[in-house]
């Protein structure tokens, strides 16, 4: 489903603002440009500018990595609620093409994925899941791919 067909609520707009003014995220140079009303879709924009440019004039790899780093964890925390613990466990990035323009990343979580996590944690102590994130230009050409491993478990304090 395309982000253009979805809507933001006033709560998700406020969350987007909070994301973008949070100092650690703001310094990545990226901006969250969309959070769906149900938190199942997020879009991030990483412009090529003086703050994100590396020594050879392309997007700094660290900015690409940091732009996508917290998003899935925050989405899952919102969607699963306080009954679950969600942590970023590991990540790896593959640089496919130099970023010579603004790049975008779209994040999506389906109901089936949420159901799978809940079901698995009924019998398992914890669960690791890998999510693939593409950083693409306006023409949908991939410039980098990040594989994020997230750790899930039920919250023992509840």
- pTM of the predicted structure, to 2 decimals: 0.93
For the chain, the residue count is 158
Q: Residues 92, 86: contact at Cβ < 8 Å?
A: no
CA dist., res. 136 & res. 23, Å (int): 25
Greatest distance between any 2 Cα atoms in the chain: 51
Q: Are strands 41-46 and 103-108 parallel, antiparallel or unpaired?
A: antiparallel
Number of Cβ within 10 Å of residue 16's Cβ equals 18
pLDDT, tens digit, for every residue of 137-149?
999 999 999 999 9
pLDDT, tens digit, for every residue of 106-155?
999 999 999 999 999 999 999 999 999 999 999 999 999 999 999 999 99
Q: Residues 154, 83: contact at Cβ < 8 Å?
A: yes
CA dist., res. 44 & res. 18, Å (int): 14
Retrieve residue 156's tokens: 């023992």
Tell me: pLDDT of 2 over 70. Answer: no
- Of 8, 6, 2, 144, the C-alpha closest to 68 is 144
What CATH code would you report for 3-154?
3.10.129.10
């Amino acid at each position: 489903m395309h982000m253009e067909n979805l809507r933001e609520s006033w709560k998700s707009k406020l969350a987007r603002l909070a994301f973008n003014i949070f100092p650690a995220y703001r310094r990545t140079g990226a901006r969250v440009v969309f959070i769906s009303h149900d938190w199942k879709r997020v879009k991030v924009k990483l412009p090529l500018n003086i703050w994100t440019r590396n020594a050879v004039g392309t997007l700094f790899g660290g900015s690409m990595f940091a732009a996508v780093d917290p998003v899935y964890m925050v989405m899952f925390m919102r969607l699963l609620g306080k009954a679950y613990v969600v942590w970023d466990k590991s990540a790896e990035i593959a640089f496919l093409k130099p970023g010579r323009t603004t790049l975008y990343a779209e994040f999506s979580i389906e109901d089936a994925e949420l159901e799978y996590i809940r079901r698995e944690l009924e019998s398992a102590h914890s669960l690791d899941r890998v999510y693939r994130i593409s950083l693409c230009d306006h023409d949908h050409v991939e410039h980098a791919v990040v594989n994020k491993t997230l750790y899930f478990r039920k919250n023992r304090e509840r």
